[in-house]
Amino acid sequence: MQEKGFKIFLVEDDDWFNEFLCYILTLNPDHDVTAFKKGKDLLKALSKQPHIVTLDYNLPDIDGGTLLKKIKEQGPQTECIIISEQDKIDTAISLLKDGAYDYFVKSQDIRDRLLNTIEKIKQQQLLQTKITRLEEAVGRKYSFENRLIGKSEDFQKIFPLIQKATQTSITVSITGETGTGKEEVAKAIHYNSSRKSGPFIAVNMAAIPKELAESELFGHERGAFTGALNSRTGRFEESNSGTLFLDEIGEMDLQLQAKLLRVLQEKEVIKLGSNKPIKFDARIMVATHKNLQEEVRRGAFREDLFFRLFGLQIKIPALRERTTDIILLAEFFIKNFCSENNLNTKPLSVHAKQKLLAYHFPGNVRELKSVTELACVMSEGKTIEPVDLNFSHSDFSTELLSEEMTLEGYEKKIIHHFLSKYNNNALLVAEKLGIGKSTIYRFLNREKN
């Protein structure tokens, strides 16, 4: 029989019932059905990895219970449906405990039940396949080489720390300027750790109003405060068996810091409006762009909480401190964006690279990503040119040095800039540049001619 999508092996020594089961199972054209009359013949064929085995409990060469155990040992993912003349409850219970999916008593009326059970198994296995592929995809997505791009010496120094962080559930504190990729590092740690199958819950403390922060983290019961129409699960509970990432922890209110300290010490939360403690098991990672030690000295951050969160510290360098990674990152972002939007990937021109390298990137990696993605949209040629790169924080001094030119060229560019800035007011431009107004007029006359 030509192999189809879903493999079903059946073992039945009774000739008539064997043919009867084959008929039922082949009603679905997607089923690839193979029939056996002996248990030992089935065992020899298990290397073909069937999805389902329908198993006669009373076989002449091997009993159904023993055969079931051997099938599950060789292929735990293979589901077994026992079909037996016995209707003993204790036998059925014993087989179900040993891994059987279902237990049928032989009859001519089992068609619908058997097909429905097989359909359920197919749906469950399909879902499990999707989950496995998703987990693999997430693992690839958040692998170090796919998420943490950089070959500069400063950036490479954080890799051993990240690797150590994946091996335990130690609290991790990540510092760095806004836009350096603190959450990306946290995700890379989570999805490469033993908690990767659990949730990754990120909370930006700077984005939550002070009066709602406690409810956001710990949850609340219905009626706990005005507007609490329903109970709510807090972020700590949601992150159970996974990771809770508290971004911008330095923005947390002092009163809430005291409550957070207790939660971390006791490993339990109490919802607003309740007095019942709820245990949780979540790894804690925090991030901030602030110097928390300085915040402690100023009295803006609790010292005891600081030491509680100290853990393994990872400092991410600013993009201007790892300029050798700028082009590498830019090309990575361009490739990803074009792939996701069905665009042809365009290389950066030499002058475009020079412009990127001359810019100071106050918004760090996040700004570089935004700039390069916009360039992919704006570019109309075969390469990305300097004109396609638009910096929201651009300053004139950076753009001035983005390409090499003669002294006269720089002079023209400077005068053009200030004339544009001051609405062609030659007197004001001359004053700002500390030169005679006649120089400005001569320049304007040359431009007209």
Q: Flag the least confident range among 60-64, 257-261, 330-334.
A: 60-64
With a pLDDT cut of 90, the percent of the chain lying above it is: 45
Together in a domain, 171 and 199? yes
Q: Which residues of 376-386 are buried (b: 16+ CB within 10 A; e: fewer)?
A: beebeeeebbb
pLDDT at position 1 is 37
Give the amino acid at 46: L
Mean predicted confidence (pLDDT) in 291-314: 93
Q: In whole angstroms, what is the distance from residue 289 CA to residue 301 CA?
A: 14
Together in a domain, 168 and 189? yes
Q: Which of 133, 164, 186 is the last residue of a domain?
A: 133
- The domain in which residue 94 lies consists of 6-133
Name the band, by pLDDT with cuts 50, 70 and 90, for residue 145: low
pLDDT at position 410 over 90: no
> What does pTM read for this prediction?
0.61
CATH code for the domain in which residue 183 is found: 3.40.50.300
Examine residue 177 and state whether it is found in any structural domain, yes or no: yes
Together in a domain, 302 and 341? no
Together in a domain, 20 and 66? yes
If one counts the domains in the chain, the total is 4
Q: In whole angstroms, what is the distance from residue 93 CA to residue 376 CA?
A: 63
CATH code for the domain in which residue 413 is found: 1.10.10
Q: Which residues of 70-80 are buried (b: 16+ CB within 10 A; e: fewer)?
A: ebbeebeebbb
Examine residue 60 and state whether it is found in any structural domain, yes or no: yes
Examine residue 42 and state whether it is found in any structural domain, yes or no: yes
Per-chain mean pLDDT for the chain? 86
Q: Which residue has the tokens 């928390």?
A: 292
Which pLDDT tens digit goes with each residue over 42-94?
898 988 889 999 988 888 888 878 888 889 888 888 999 988 877 777 777 88
Mean predicted confidence (pLDDT) in 352-376: 91
pLDDT at position 220 over 50: yes
Return the number of other C-beta atoms located less than 10 Å from residue 224's C-beta: 17
Instruction: List the structure tokens of 412.
Output: 């023209």
Q: Which of 264, 288, 317 is the last residue of a domain?
A: 317
Q: In whole angstroms, what is the distance from residue 83 CA to residue 17 CA?
A: 11
Examine residue 207 and state whether it is found in any structural domain, yes or no: yes
Together in a domain, 169 and 311? yes
Together in a domain, 326 and 300? no
Nearest alpha-carbon partner for 200 in 235, 156, 161: 235
Mean predicted confidence (pLDDT) in 304-331: 94
Examine residue 138 and state whether it is found in any structural domain, yes or no: no
| Contact call for residues 327 and 356 (beta carbons, < 8 A) | yes
Together in a domain, 195 and 266? yes
Which pLDDT tens digit goes with each residue over 149-192?
888 999 989 999 999 999 999 999 999 999 999 999 999 999 88
Examine residue 142 and state whether it is found in any structural domain, yes or no: no
Return the number of other C-beta atoms located less than 10 Å from residue 156's C-beta: 13
DSSP state, residue 177: -
Higher-scoring residue by pLDDT: 324, 432? 324
Q: In whole angstroms, what is the distance from residue 288 CA to residue 298 CA?
A: 16
Q: Which of 98, 133, 168 is the last residue of a domain?
A: 133
Which pLDDT tens digit goes with each residue over 2-41?
345 789 999 988 889 899 999 989 888 889 899 998 888 9
pLDDT at position 398 is 55
End-to-end CA distance of the chain: give it in Å, rounded: 87
Higher-scoring residue by pLDDT: 129, 223? 223
Together in a domain, 349 and 417? no
Examine residue 148 and state whether it is found in any structural domain, yes or no: no
pLDDT at position 328 is 93
| Contact call for residues 290 and 253 (beta carbons, < 8 A) | no
Together in a domain, 14 and 83? yes
Together in a domain, 110 and 19? yes
Instruction: List the structure tokens of 296.
Output: 């402690």
pLDDT at position 306 over 90: yes
CATH code for the domain in which residue 94 is found: 3.40.50.2300
Together in a domain, 159 and 27? no
pLDDT at position 215 over 70: yes
Burial classification of residue 83, based on how many CB atoms lie within 10 Å of its CB (0-12 exposed, 13-18 middle, 19 or more buried): buried
CATH code for the domain in which residue 356 is found: 1.10.8.60
Examine residue 165 and state whether it is found in any structural domain, yes or no: yes
Together in a domain, 362 and 272? no
